[in-house]
Amino acid sequence: MKTIRVWDNGLPRNVIDEIVRELRDGAIMVWPTDTLYGVACDALNPKAIDAVCRLKGLNPDKNTLSIVCSDISQASEYARIENEAFRLIKRLAPGPYTFILRAASRLPKAFKGRKTVGIRIPGYEPARAIAEALGNPLLNTSIDFADEDYAVSPGLIAEAYEGRADIMLEGPDGLTEPSTVIDCTTSDFTIVREGAGKEEV
């Protein structure tokens, strides 16, 4: 597994370009977000999506899949965002929130059995920069961890995913709290999971 260090000032453009090339080729990446470390891949690469789902034991027909977007403009290409939801996302993002929205037709086959998609616009700038450079979202799901040490320590996370992922972005310590999940598919927005995001909906 290739390890790439993320410094406090982010990632140089040439490193981002290298990551993007590998993602387009189907690489599986472990990376920091503004909550838990995640397991990610190019959200438009069906084979990579299948690999992530197998790695995490996810069933796309039953589990809501989440994508990391660079900004609300990119998100609007892959999810249907009504006016009220747009205002909510504009207020809370970037940040530790997942917004459940109705999926748009541009999402790949893995999403076709689902009418909804989770949208993340994380507060961690390097994650958004990679999505921007890729030109489309990344599928993302939180890492599995046996205890809190394996959630917060990049070194232990890398150890846990050695041989299971292709790239490890080694950044700051992770958190143990996931994103706050907000269902935006009805007129009354509902928090379906309380997490790191604490703002009122």
CB–CB of 165/48 below 8 Å?
A: no
Checking if the pLDDT of 158 tops 90, the result is yes
pTM to 2 decimal places: 0.94
- Distance, first Cα to last Cα, the chain: 40
Checking if the pLDDT of 111 tops 90, the result is no
| All structural domains of the chain with their residue ranges | 8-34+41-137+177-193
Checking if the pLDDT of 62 tops 80, the result is no
Average the pLDDT over 150-170 and give the result. 95
Contact residues for 32 (Cβ-Cβ < 8 A; gap 6+): 6, 38, 124, 126, 127, 154, 169, 171, 172, 174
Predicted pLDDT at 108: 73
pLDDT band at 113 (very low <50, low <70, confident <90, very high): low
Predicted pLDDT at 180: 97
Average the pLDDT over 3-26 and give the result. 94
Q: CATH for 8-34+41-137+177-193? A: 3.90.870.10
pLDDT band at 51 (very low <50, low <70, confident <90, very high): very high
Q: State the Cα–Cα distance between residues 162 and 184, nearest whole angstrom.
A: 36
